[in-house]
């Protein structure tokens, strides 16, 4: 086993808050430059850039974990990490069927779907920044149904976090972890500036799950 450097909370140009130059290809290249071994692509309420990122990553020898940052009905951000693109797209189907509204790019920013060659495939016109109609319990339940891991995003932030919205961590929810963020002005934009080291056997979801539980000698090194 060895230490793998991971950033499990990355947004691409599909997220309204992220820079347009954060294409799936650029994310992989920047992550390599920063010495990361594992990155989870977690766009707001969407996984449409995950496939492109995985295809670039496979060629470049870095692991992209397919994910999403889901905004629950209570406006709590939850990171959902999956084994494969198929599960992430299943989750996306559920999220889309409970997401209302149309994006207003002039207010929230463009939501670009790009392919692995860095070409624009299209613009997502859903209101990805919005809250879904799914409760925290429903989101967490569905992530686990799909075999995914569930991490409460930036719980130390004053907005869109479990603590800011509910004031406490409900004892009956099954989280695999919580994310503590470092102070910053905007939503997570800098790849590799904050990373977590996982002491695991291989860069995959199962190993990350074991490390989060501290099982079989796997651990989160901090």
In the complex, the residues that contact Zn ion under the rule CB under 5 A are 69, 77, 153, 188
> Any residues with CB less than 8 A from the CB of 33 and at least 6 apart, and which?
192
Residue with smaller CB distance to Zn ion, 55 or 77: 77
The span from the first CA to the last CA of the chain, in angstroms, equals 16
Residue with smaller CB distance to Zn ion, 34 or 75: 75
Residue with smaller CB distance to Zn ion, 63 or 153: 153
Q: CA angle 49-110-189, nearest 5°?
A: 65
Residue with smaller CB distance to Zn ion, 17 or 32: 17
By beta-carbon distance, which residue lies closest to Zn ion?
A: 77
193, exposed or middle or buried, with CB in 10 Å at 0-12, 13-18, 19+? exposed
Q: Is 217 helix (H, G, I), strand (E, B) or coil?
A: coil
Residue with smaller CB distance to Zn ion, 135 or 164: 164
CB of 154 to Zn ion, least distance (A): 6
CB of 75 to Zn ion, least distance (A): 10
CB of 64 to Zn ion, least distance (A): 16
CB of 213 to Zn ion, least distance (A): 23
Distances (CA, A) of 35 to 8, 51, 55, 205: 14, 22, 19, 19
> Is the Cα torsion angle 177, 144, 69, 41 positive or negative in sign?
positive
Distance CA 174, CA 176 (A): 7
CB of 187 to Zn ion, least distance (A): 5
Can you give the length of the chain in residues?
Answer: 222
């Amino acid at each position: 086993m060895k230490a793998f450097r991971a950033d499990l909370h990355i947004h691409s140009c599909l997220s309204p808050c992220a820079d347009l130059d954060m294409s799936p290809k650029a994310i992989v290249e920047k992550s390599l430059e920063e010495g990361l071994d594992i990155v989870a692509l977690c766009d707001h309420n969407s996984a449409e850039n995950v496939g492109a990122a995985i295809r670039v990553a496979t060629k470049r020898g870095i692991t992209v974990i397919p994910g999403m940052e889901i905004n629950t009905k209570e406006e709590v951000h939850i990171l959902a990490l999956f084994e494969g693109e198929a599960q992430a797209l299943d989750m996306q189907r559920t999220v889309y069927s409970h997401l209302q509204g149309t994006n207003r790019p002039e207010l929230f920013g463009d939501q670009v779907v790009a392919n692995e060659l860095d070409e624009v495939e299209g613009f997502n016109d859903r209101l990805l920044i919005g809250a879904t109609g799914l409760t925290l319990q429903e989101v967490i339940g569905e992530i686990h149904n799909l075999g995914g891991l569930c991490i409460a995003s930036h719980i130390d932030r004053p907005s869109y976090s479990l603590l800011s919205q509910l004031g406490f961590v409900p004892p009956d929810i099954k989280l695999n972890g919580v994310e503590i963020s470092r102070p910053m002005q905007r939503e997570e934009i800098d790849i590799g500036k904050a990373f977590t080291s996982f002491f695991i056997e291989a860069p995959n979801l199962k190993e990350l799950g074991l490390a989060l539980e501290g099982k079989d000698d796997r651990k989160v090194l901090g």
